[in-house]
């Protein structure tokens, strides 16, 4: 790994870059920028195109979606963006800072303490949501999205300020009409009493009021002790859910304990008291003795001097911090009578015959500050603290303590229940803030983002390179998503040299070096942990000029596409990659994690902007029109984005649009995908000389540089073509139209009704150069064919495509559907004539009683994305030759060999091909002469469509 650059070196590099490119660009806020373009608010989705790159993208606001599948899907997500209560997202941040959450309920799933791994990923979803809002605002200009961004950024600013300072008491309504301490669940706050609180007493009474805010077991009301050996505690709930008092000098096995008989009601005040002396212990709940033990020999005096006296915190690290209300903590050096305990139910201790505790007396009715007065006469004030202390740098912003980041630095193995990808979460927050700044110009968002970068640099720059390499190589815990890309964007705007140095601290050298050397090491790796790394490397290449970054990214892309790609464009099984070219062998109910498709699209886009290889856009179209569109369910929901996590490709799989109770990584990226469908429809040459039309999507581009608009009107993919109309003034540029690799049935272009000369080649761009005038119309026609794509490890397992659209069988069968497609194949090689169109349902067909429909439709129908190709007999034009279809050892059949020669100019050309193939197979002994003659006769007799 390259060592961090010094500030002087980075400043010199920045100056040299600016001088070399001749740029004089200022980042928002006046900071000097590097040689990367800085987009103004409302402009491009990110500062993602290097000044030296041949292409640049347009901003989301520059491209308006027209009516069609993209607009329909986006409308559903915009409804979610408008309707979801953002205070629920902010709840986990406010709780972590000890702020009032306003009664908001955390989203659940991965975004709350009750979710998977205790919510160790909480906060990531807020970043996704900010990005969705920013994209929605940039695309539509609707102020509701800007307002929501301002609300969230304002709240996060308050959160960071609260984290910077000592915790401050949050008060609520207590018993007897007095305030009480409110401990927010997730705040990790407790009250620290002074040492010597128990004073070596030989008898003691403990009394307090509690209002549990959660049902977590083992949350302590108080815990006085040294460690997990010598202590006494009072817990709201034991393992059975009832109150428990225990004292021990020899750890859990030696506890002398009192257990209640019923759980304390949640959200209601209850009084707890414990008396201990003369060998007897008694536990009272609401004035009633619920447990008594006459053989309790341990007292505070027996424990001796104890180090810690905590309210709300346990000496056992795995125990939760108490959440809820706490009031009137009183400690006496004697055993109160049952009558005195009864009085405490009706009044504050100071107003009863017992009086305030003589060892400690904390009313806990303060409404500000972090100190609590002691009314016992000792004047021993208590202090509100965090269990984790506080952030190591004022820029820290998260929805959980910094301990997640600290623990990662010493981890040697994966354990996501302890540490679950903290830098992944930091990336989502950083990305959301940067997108919020870009869309709205919100200076606070950039300040928060810059602070995050400063904090990460302070945290990581002090670590040895070996530690960083180990961290980033740990599955899940060390996952950091697209943080490098985001940090490079931050550096472009802040101009802070340390931010670029920070980006390089995430280099995972063994992966980068292997991919730069074109050594495929992906087998066994977690897919989504590694895909976004390479988008970051592309940005690092821009910033540093280090070629290995770009080379590694290009080679990596080719290792995945097509070698680990399913037909719909997705990758991974159970989140992991398997061996190269093993596709059929990895099909499962947990294939094609949706995040992987999202990140592969980002990488494809980034690579294409720097190297306009049409293969990147062919992939982009495949994944966008199939997995990404198909991952969004086609119904509205304000509470859920309704996006898949995995898309199982097993026979009869039903898509799950509410995975893991919501708020997963894939639902987060799904929200983003559905609000930026238009981001790659058009690109421009950096010098303005050309416009690339990458996708055929109903849309209008406003190209301010030339003062023109370009409007696409199309029902693609229902329509097999598109019409582009130029508006505005005159402009000279080359229009580069992508000829999809699947467009083997022709690609025709007319301008104002006249054919354009040239031969479009599938898998390239077709160029039309002229001076364009308002009203000029370009018509693109690209007939679709039904084709199949075989898996490399099992040629008989195939996906059906009509143009760019994957057609899936809708059937509840749990074995692969067997289909034959050659029986009515057209001379062109089109297999569609073997299917029957469904009237009134475009792109819907039937075959052998099974409906086939576009994968992009977000239904809950059981689907078959792969079918088993079965052509048992040689059939031409619906005529059965009576001859079995022979196969070679590799699975290639005689019919495969015949139709590999398509398209055929005429029936005679097809018959000639049949004769040639038959002769070869007879010569190889795979077909008898009489059978071969029968095959040729059938081919001659049959009728074919064109």
Q: What is the 3-state secondary structure (H, E, C) of 744-797?
A: CCCCEEEECCEECCCCCCCCEEEEEEEEECCCCEEEEECCCCEEEEEECCEEEE
- Domain spanning 63-160+393-405+419-673 has what CATH number? 1.50.10.10
Number of H helices, E strands in the chain: 23, 39
Query: How far is residue 662 from each of residues 77, 426, 527, 601, measured CA to CA in Å?
Result: 15, 20, 21, 23
> Minimal CA–CA distance to 700: which of 710, 713, 686?
710
DSSP per position, 160-225: HHHHHSPP---EEE-GGG-EEEEE-TTS-EEEEPPTTTTTT-SSEEEEEEEEE-S--TT-EEEEEE
Q: Six-digit token pair at 869?
A: 């190709």
Beta-ladder partners of 713: 723
The Cα–Cα gap between 345 and 335 comes to 17
Q: Are 309 and 331 in contact (CB under 8 A)?
A: no
Confidence (pLDDT) at 37: 34
What 3-state DSSP class applies to 123? Answer: coil
Residue 40 zone, left/alpha/beta (φ > 0; ψ -120 to 50; rest): beta
pLDDT at 48: 66
In whole angstroms, what is the distance from residue 128 CA to residue 665 CA? 9
pLDDT digits (tens, 9 = 90+) for 210-262: 999 999 999 999 999 999 999 999 999 999 999 999 999 999 999 999 999 99
Please report the pLDDT score of residue 50 as a whole number. 74
In the chain, CATH 2.60.120.200 sits at 189-386
CA 188 to chain centre: 26
Structure token digits, residue 610 = 């720097």
- List, for residues 433-480, the tens digit of each pLDDT value: 999 999 999 999 999 999 999 999 999 999 999 999 999 999 999 999
DSSP labels for 886-903?
A: -B-TTS-BHHHHHHTT--
For the chain, the residue count is 946
CATH 1.50.10.10 residue ranges for the chain: 63-160+393-405+419-673
DSSP reduced 3-state for 922: helix
pLDDT at 790: 95
Positions in the chain whose pLDDT score sits under 50: 1-46
The dihedral sign for the CA sequence 129, 159, 405, 537: positive
Q: What is the pTM of this model?
A: 0.93
**Residue 324 CA to its chain's centroid (Å):** 32
Q: Which CATH number fits domain 189-386: 1.10.40.60, 3.30.300.280, 3.40.640.10, 2.60.120.200?
A: 2.60.120.200
Q: What is the pLDDT of residue 39?
A: 36
- Between CA 878 and CA 831 the distance in angstroms is 13
């Amino acid at each position: 790994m390259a060592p961090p650059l010094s500030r002087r070196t980075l400043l010199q590099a920045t100056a040299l870059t600016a001088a070399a490119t001749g740029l004089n660009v200022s980042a928002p806020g006046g900071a000097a920028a590097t040689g990367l373009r800085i987009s103004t608010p409302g402009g491009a989705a990110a500062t993602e195109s290097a000044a030296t790159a041949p292409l640049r993208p347009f901003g989301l606001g520059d491209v308006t979606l027209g009516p069609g599948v993209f607009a329909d899907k986006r409308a559903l997500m915009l409804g979610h963006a408008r309707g979801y209560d953002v205070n629920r997202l902010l709840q986990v941040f406010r709780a972590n800072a000890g702020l009032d959450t306003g009664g908001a309920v955390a989203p659940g799933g991965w975004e709350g303490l009750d979710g998977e791994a205790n919510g160790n990923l909480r906060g990531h979803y807020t970043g996704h949501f900010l990005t969705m809002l920013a994209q929605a605002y940039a695309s539509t200009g609707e102020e509701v999205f800007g307002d929501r961004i301002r609300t969230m950024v304002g709240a996060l600013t308050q959160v960071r300020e609260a984290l910077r300072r000592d915790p401050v008491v949050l008060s609520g309504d207590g018993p007897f009409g007095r305030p009480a301490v409110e401990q927010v669940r997730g705040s990790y706050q407790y009250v620290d009493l002074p040492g010597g609180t128990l004073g070596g007493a030989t008898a003691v009474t403990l009394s307090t009021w509690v209002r549990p805010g959660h049902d977590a077991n083992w949350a302590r009301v108080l815990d006085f002790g040294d460690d997990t050996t010598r202590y006494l505690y009072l817990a709201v709930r034991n393992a059975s859910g009832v109150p428990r008092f225990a004292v021990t000098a020899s750890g859990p096995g030696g506890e002398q304990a009192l257990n209640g008989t019923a759980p304390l009601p949640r959200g209601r005040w209850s009084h707890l008291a414990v008396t201990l002396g003369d060998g007897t212990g008694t536990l009272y709940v609401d004035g009633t003795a619920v447990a008594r033990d006459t053989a309790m020999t341990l007292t505070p005096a027996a424990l001796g001097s104890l180090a810690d006296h905590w309210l709300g915190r346990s000496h056992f690290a795995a125990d939760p911090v108490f959440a809820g209300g706490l009031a009137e903590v009183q400690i006496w050096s004697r055993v109160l009578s049952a009558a005195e305990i009864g009085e405490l139910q009706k009044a504050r201790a100071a107003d009863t015959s017992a009086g305030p505790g003589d060892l400690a007396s904390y009313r806990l009715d303060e409404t500000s500050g972090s100190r609590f007065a002691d009314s016992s006469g000792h004047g021993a004030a208590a202090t509100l603290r965090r269990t984790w202390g506080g952030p190591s740098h004022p820029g820290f912003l998260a929805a959980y303590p910094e301990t997640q980041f600290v623990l990662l630095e010493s981890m040697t193995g994966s354990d996501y229940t302890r540490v679950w990808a903290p830098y992944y979460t930091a990336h989502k927050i950083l990305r959301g803030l940067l997108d919020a700044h870009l869309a709205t110009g919100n200076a606070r968002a950039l300040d928060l983002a810059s602070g995050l970068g400063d904090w990460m640099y302070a945290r990581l720059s002090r670590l040895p390179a070996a530690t960083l390499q180990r961290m980033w190589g740990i599955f899940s815990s060390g996952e950091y998503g697209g943080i490098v890309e985001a940090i490079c964007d931050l550096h472009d705007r802040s101009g802070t040299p340390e931010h670029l140095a920070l980006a390089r601290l995430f280099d995972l050298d063994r992966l980068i070096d292997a991919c730069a050397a074109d050594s495929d090491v992906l087998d066994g790796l977690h897919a989504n942990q590694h895909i976004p790394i390479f988008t970051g490397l592309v940005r690092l290449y821009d910033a540093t000029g280090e070629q290995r970054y770009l080379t590694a990214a290009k080679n990596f892309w080719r290792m995945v596409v097509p070698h680990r790609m399913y037909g719909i464009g997705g990758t991974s099984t159970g989140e992991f990659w398997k061996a190269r070219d093993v596709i059929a062998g990895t099909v499962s109910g947990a294939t094609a994690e949706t995040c992987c498709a999202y990140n592969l699209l980002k990488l494809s886009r980034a690579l294409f902007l720097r190297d306009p290889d049409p293969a990147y856009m062919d992939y982009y179209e495949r994944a966008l029109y199939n997995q990404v569109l198909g991952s969004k369910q086609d119904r509205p929901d304000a509470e859920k984005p309704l996006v898949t996590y995995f898309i199982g490709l097993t026979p009869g799989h039903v898509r799950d649009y509410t995975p893991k109770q919501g708020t997963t990584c894939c639902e987060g990226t799904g929200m983003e995908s559905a609000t930026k469908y238009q981001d790659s429809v058009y690109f421009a040459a950096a010098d303005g000389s050309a416009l690339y039309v990458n996708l055929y999507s109903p849309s209008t581009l406003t190209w301010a540089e030339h003062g023109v608009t370009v409007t696409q009107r199309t029902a693609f993919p229902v329509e097999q073509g598109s019409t582009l109309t130029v508006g505005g003034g005159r402009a000279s540029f080359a229009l580069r139209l992508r000829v999809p690799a699947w467009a083997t049935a022709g690609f025709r272009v007319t301008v104002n009704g006249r054919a354009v000369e040239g031969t479009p080649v599938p898998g390239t761009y077709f160029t039309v150069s002229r001076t364009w005038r308002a009203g000029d119309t370009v018509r693109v026609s690209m007939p679709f064919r039904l084709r199949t794509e075989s898996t490399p490890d099992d040629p008989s397992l195939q996906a059906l495509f009509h143009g760019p659209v994957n057609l899936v069988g809708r059937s509840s069968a749990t074995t692969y559907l067997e289909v034959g497609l050659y029986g009515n194949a057209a001379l062109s090689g089109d297999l569609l004539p073997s299917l029957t169109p469904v009237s009134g349902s475009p792109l819907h067909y039937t075959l052998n009683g099974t409906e086939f429909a576009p994968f992009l439709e977000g239904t809950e129908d059981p689907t078959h994305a792969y079918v088993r190709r079965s052509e048992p007999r040689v059939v031409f034009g619906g005529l059965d030759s009576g001859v079995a279809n022979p196969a070679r050892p590799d699975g290639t059949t005689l019919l495969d060999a015949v139709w590999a020669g398509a398209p055929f100019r005429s029936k005679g050309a097809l018959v000639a091909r049949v004769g040639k193939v038959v002769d070869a197979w007879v010569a190889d002994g795979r077909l008898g002469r009489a059978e071969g003659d029968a095959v040729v006769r059938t081919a001659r007799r049959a009728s074919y469509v064109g």
